[in-house]
Structure 1
Amino acid sequence: MSEVADDARTVQLGKTRPPLAVDDLPEPEEVFKVRRLGPAQIIKFAIGPSLIALGISIGSGEWLLGPQAVGQYGFIGVGWVILVSAVLQTFYNVEIARTVMATGESPVVSWGRVPPGVLVWVPLSVFIVIFAFIAGGWAASAGQGMYALVHGEVAPAGAEEPRIWAIALLVLVFLITVAARRISRSLELANWVMVGTILAGLLLIDLFVVPFSQWWEGIRGFVTPAMPPDGITATQLGGLAGFTALASGLNWYVMGHYRDKGYGMGYRTGYISGLRGERPELKAVGVTFPDDELNRGRWKRWYRLLMLDQWGVFFIGAMLGMLLPTILMAHAVEVSGERPTAATVPTFVAGVFEEEYGRPMFYVALVLGVLILFSTQLGIFEGMVRVTTDAAHGTSPRLRKLIEGDPRRFYYPFMLLLIVVISVVLHQALPVNLVQWSANMSNLGALIYPFLLMYLNSRLPRPARPRPWHYVILVLNVLFFGFFFVNFVADLIGDPLITF
C-alpha cells in the first residue's frame, strides 16, 4: 500500500525513491486548452501516444517478420500468434499507462520504486532497452528500401550504400527532434501523416490486387487455433510475437509519451521540449492525487481517454497494420511462385509487383515500405534516447546540476552518440536477422516488467488501481512472451525447447 509521509501533501510509493507530491488531477479540458472535449477535440488533441506506438508497430513485425512468416508458411498456425500477441500487449500498454497517469513519472523512473530499488531497476532497464534495439535492424531495413527507391532496383547482397541511407535516416530523426517545439507532439504529427498514408495506401492496393480468398484466409488465420506449420521455428514465432503490435515486454519504453502528452498527473510533471520550444520544468519526482470524489471522477475521464487511445486506435491499427501487409505478401508469393528470405523480405513485394503490374507499382510499394520502416526507426531511435534521458534526469541530482535542470543538454548529445554506435552495429548482420534478435530480446522484458507493474499498480490511489482480473492478464503476458524468450535462449546455446 502507499504510505502517507510526514508531510500530508506527499505520499510514499514503493522504496528508494522520494515520496510523490499530492495534487488534484487536472481536467482534460485544462490540459488540452479547449472549452469542451468532444469527438473532434479528442481526435485533434487527446489521441497521440498510441500513434507513436503504432508508427513503431507497423514496421519490424508488420512489414518484415509477419510477411516473412506468412510468405513462407501461410496464415494458419501463424495468425493466432499475431492476434494473441496484440490483445495481450494492448492490455499491457493500458497497465503501464495507468502508472504514468497516476504518478506523472515515466516508467523507467517508476521502476526504481520497486524493491530492491533504483540502483537495480533503472540501470538494468536502460541496458535492456538499448541492448534490445541497438542492433539497428529497423534502420538497416529502411536503408534497403531507400536504396531501391533511389536506384530503381533491389540492392545487391553486401552493398554498403543501404547502410549509408540507414545512417542518413538516423540523422533525419535527429533533425526532426531538433526542429521540434515539443518532441512528443512532433512525433505524433509525423505519425499522423505516415500511419495514415501507410494504412490508406495498403488498403487501396490490397483492394485492387488481392483476391477476396486471400483476404478471407488472412482473417481466418487470426481466429483459427492451430499448431504452427511444419518447418517454422519457435524462434521465428517468438520474433513475430515480440514485434506484433509493439515490443511485448518492453512496450513501456514508449508509454512515457503519456506523461509528455499531459495525461493525468503527467500534466503536473512536465515534458521534454525541443530546441525551438520553451524549456518547461521537468520534475525529477512525480505527483499523485488524493482519493476523493473530485479526483475519482476526473480519473474515470482520463481512463476512458486512455482506453480509446489504446483499443480504438492502437489495437485496431496494429491488427490492420499486420493484416494488410501480410495478405499483400501472400499475394506476391502466389503470383511469383517464390518465397521471401531474410535477405529479400524488405523489398520482396516491390520486386514482384514490378514484374506483375509495371514500374509504377514498384515505386508505390517501395514508398510505402520506406514510410513503414522509417516510422519504426523514428519511434525506436527516439525511444532509446528518451528512456536514457528520463532515467538519468530522474535519478541523478549530480547530472541535473551539471545540465542545469535542462534534460535537452543530455538528450541531444546522447542521440548523436547513439547514431555513431548504431552506424557501426548495423554492419554486422542481415536486417531481418537483427530485427529477430531485437524482437526476442523484447520478450525478455515480459519475464520482468509485468511483476513490477503488479507491485506499483496495487499501491496507486484507490481509483487508479486495477481490478483483480487485470493481474491475470499480466501473468498471461509473462507466460506467453516469456516462453518464447526462454526458447530463444535455449536455441542459442543448444537445441530449442520445441520444434515444428
Structure 2
Amino acid sequence: MSHPLGVSRPDLEVTDLPTPEEVFKVSKIGPKELFKYAVGPSLIALGISIGSGEWLLGPLSVGQYGFIGVGWVILVSALLQTFYNVECSRYVLATGETPVVGWGRVPPGWPLWVPLSVLIVIFAFIAGGWASSAGDGVYALIHGTPPPSGDLEPRWWAVALLVLVFVITALARRISRVLELANWVMVGSVLLALLAVDLLVVPFSQWWEGILGFITPAAPPEGITATQLGGLAGFTALASGLNWYVMGHYRDKGYGMGHRVGFISGLRGERREILASGVTFPDDERNRGLWRRWYRLLMVDMWGVFFVGAVLGMLLPTILMSHAVTMSGEKPTRENVPTFVASALGAEYGQAVFFIGLLLGVLVLFSTQLGIFEAMVRVTTDAANATSPRLRALIQGDPRRFYYPFMIVLLVIISIIIFQSLPVALVEWSANMSNLGALLYPFLLMYLNSKLPRPARPRPWHYVILVLNFLFFGFFFVNFIADFIGDPLVTF
C-alpha cells in the first residue's frame, strides 16, 4: 500500500504511526517525560533564534531608534514564524521527510526545487557573521577591551569556533540529541542570566517601554531603512521564509513518521541509514488519535518553548541595550554592537559585569552559528541522499560519509568569507536573504500539506497565515533588492 504525493518522487509507503511512548521509550508521557524526552527540536531552533536578531540587529535598531515603531515588527515576525514552523513540521511528522526533500514533490519536480533550495540556504547563511561576531567577544574576553578596527585576531577566533562546531558533531552519538543538550545549557544560561541582569540594572520604566513597544502599532521611526527593518523581521525568532531548514530535526527526534525513516548519527554513534523516500500513515481511527497526540506535542514544543523563548530572547537584550544607551549617552554602531552593551555595563558597574556581558554575547552568537553551520550541512546531506542513487551507493547508505567531508569543505569556505566584511554587515545580508524564502516556500508548503493524509491536513485558516508570511516578509525582501540596486520602494 502506498500514498501518492506530488511529482518526481516515489510514492510514500504506508504504515502505522508509532506511539510517543514507543519512540521515547517511556511508559507514559507526563510533564516530566514531556520536557525530558519530547521537547527538543524547538531548542535547536531557539538556539539559532536567540542570536543575530536578538543580540545584534534588534538591539542595534532599538539602540538607534527606540522601541516604538520597531517592537511591533518583532512581535508580528515571531507570531508568523511560529505558525510557519508548525506548518513545516506538520509535513515532517506526517511523512518523515525533511522539507528540503519534500520540496522535490512540488511541480515541476526535484531537479528544480531541491538544488535551488540547497543553494538558497547556503547562500543565505554561508557568511558566518555569527561566528565573526562571537570572535569579537572572545577577543574582548581575552584582552579586556573590544577589538580595534581592522584587527584580524577576532576573525581567527571565529574560525576556531567553527572548528569547535565540527568537534561537537563529530563526538556525538546522535547529532540532534547533542545539539538539544548543548542548547538546553546555552539557551537556559543566557535567558536566566539576561533576566537576572535586567532585573538588577534596568529600571521598570524601560521594561514597560519595551513591552509597550512590542504591542503598539506605529509607523517605523524616521531614519530607519527598510533593509534594517527587513533584517530585524527576518532574524527575529528564526529565519522567516527559510525556517524549514531547521525543522528536519523533528525527523531525527523521531516525531511521528520520522521514527520510521532514520536519523544522522555522529561518528561515535551506530551506523544508520536514512530512507530515500518518506513514509506516511493510513486514515483510520487509531492513527487519527495518534496524529492528534503527536500534533499536541509539536504545539507544546513550538508555542510553549520556541515562541515564548523567542519573545523573551528579543525583549531581554533590547531593554538592556536601551538601558546601555541611556547610561552611556551614546548609540551603538554596526561596528561596535557585538560588544556595546558589555562595554556600557562595564563602565557603569565594573570589569566583572563587562566580562559577564561578553560571555553572554559569545554564548548567544555561538549557539546560533552552531545550529546554522550544522543545518547547512544537514540540508545538503538530506537532499543529496534522497535524490542521488549513485551517491547512496558511493557512501554505502551511511550519510556520515557525505556529512563530515562536506562540513570540512564548508568550514574552509566560511573561514575565508569571515575575513571579508564586518560581522553585522554579514548578518544583515543573511537576514534579508532569509526573507527571499517567504516569496516561495509558503506556497510550496500549501501544496504539500494539502495532499497529506486527511487527519494531517491543515485547516483553511492555516493557509491564510502562510499567505500573511508571504506578504509580510516578502515585502521586506522586495524592498531590500530595490534598495540594493537603486532606490528603495519605501523609505521612512
- Assess same fold via TM > 0.5: yes
What letter is aligned with 1:265?
M
Quote the residue 2:207 is aligned against.
Answer: 215
Quote the residue 1:420 is aligned against.
Answer: 412
Measure the CA separation in 2 of the matches of 1:342 and 1:289: 50
The gaps in structure 2 that reach 5 residues or longer are none
- Pick one of 430, 453, 456 that aligns with 2:422: 430
What letter is aligned with 1:178?
A
Quote the residue 1:291 is aligned against.
Answer: 283
Measure the CA separation in 1 of the matches of 2:136 and 2:243: 26
2:491 is the counterpart of 1:499: yes
Measure the CA separation in 2 of the matches of 1:234 and 1:446: 16
Quote the residue 1:304 is aligned against.
Answer: 296
The size of the alignment, in residue pairs, is: 492
2:467 is the counterpart of 1:475: yes
Quote the residue 1:348 is aligned against.
Answer: 340
- Pick one of 53, 65, 72 that aligns with 1:73: 65
Quote the residue 1:82 is aligned against.
Answer: 74
2:20 is the counterpart of 1:16: no
Measure the CA separation in 2 of the matches of 1:45 and 1:281: 23
Measure the CA separation in 1 of the matches of 2:421 and 2:272: 42
Measure the CA separation in 2 of the matches of 1:161 and 1:428: 13
Q: How many angstroms does 1:113 deviate by?
A: 0.3
TM-score normalized with structure 2 length: 1.00
SS of the residue aligned with 2:68?
Answer: coil
CA deviation map 1:426-455 (0-9, x unaligned): 111110011000000000000000000000
- Pick one of 319, 325, 330 that aligns with 2:317: 325
- Pick one of 102, 111, 114 that aligns with 2:103: 111
Quote the residue 1:4 is aligned against.
Answer: none
Equivalences for residues 140-289 of structure 1 within 5 A: 140-289=132-281
What letter is aligned with 2:75?
L
CA deviation map 1:317-369 (0-9, x unaligned): 00000000000000000000000000000000111111100000000001100
SS of the residue aligned with 1:115?
Answer: coil
The Cα RMSD (Å) is 0.4
- Pick one of 370, 373, 381 that aligns with 2:373: 381
Quote the residue 2:455 is aligned against.
Answer: 463
The gaps in structure 1 that reach 5 residues or longer are 1-8
* C-alpha contact (below 8 Å) 2:341/2:357 kept by paired residues: yes
CA deviation map 1:372-393 (0-9, x unaligned): 0000010000010000000001
What letter is aligned with 2:212?
R
SS of the residue aligned with 2:111?
Answer: helix
Quote the residue 2:83 is aligned against.
Answer: 91
Q: How many angstroms does 1:280 deviate by?
A: 2.2
What letter is aligned with 1:499?
T
Measure the CA separation in 2 of the matches of 1:427 and 1:34: 49
Q: How many angstroms does 1:168 deviate by?
A: 0.2
Equivalences for residues 401-416 of structure 1 within 5 A: 401-416=393-408
CA deviation map 1:180-213 (0-9, x unaligned): 0000000000000000000000000000000000
Measure the CA separation in 2 of the matches of 1:327 and 1:446: 29
Quote the residue 2:121 is aligned against.
Answer: 129
Deviates more, 1:272-281 or 1:307-316: 272-281
* Percent of matched pairs sharing the same residue: 77
2:482 is the counterpart of 1:453: no
SS of the residue aligned with 1:446?
Answer: helix
CA deviation map 1:383-409 (0-9, x unaligned): 100000000011100000000000000
Measure the CA separation in 1 of the matches of 2:128 and 2:165: 14
Measure the CA separation in 2 of the matches of 1:121 and 1:142: 33
CA deviation map 1:287-326 (0-9, x unaligned): 0000000000000000000000000000000000000000
Measure the CA separation in 2 of the matches of 1:457 and 1:286: 14
Q: How many angstroms does 1:281 deviate by?
A: 2.3
Measure the CA separation in 2 of the matches of 1:135 and 1:277: 30
2:56 is the counterpart of 1:64: yes
Q: How many angstroms does 1:136 deviate by?
A: 1.0
What letter is aligned with 1:221?
G
CA deviation map 1:201-234 (0-9, x unaligned): 0000000000000000000000000000010001
Q: How many angstroms does 1:53 deviate by?
A: 0.2
What letter is aligned with 1:284?
A
* C-alpha contact (below 8 Å) 2:273/2:399 kept by paired residues: no
Measure the CA separation in 2 of the matches of 1:27 and 1:262: 10
Write out the 4+ residue segments of structure 1 that deviate beyond 3 Å after TM superposition: none
What letter is aligned with 1:181?
R
Measure the CA separation in 2 of the matches of 1:284 and 1:145: 42
What letter is aligned with 2:172?
A
Q: How many angstroms does 1:271 deviate by?
A: 0.2
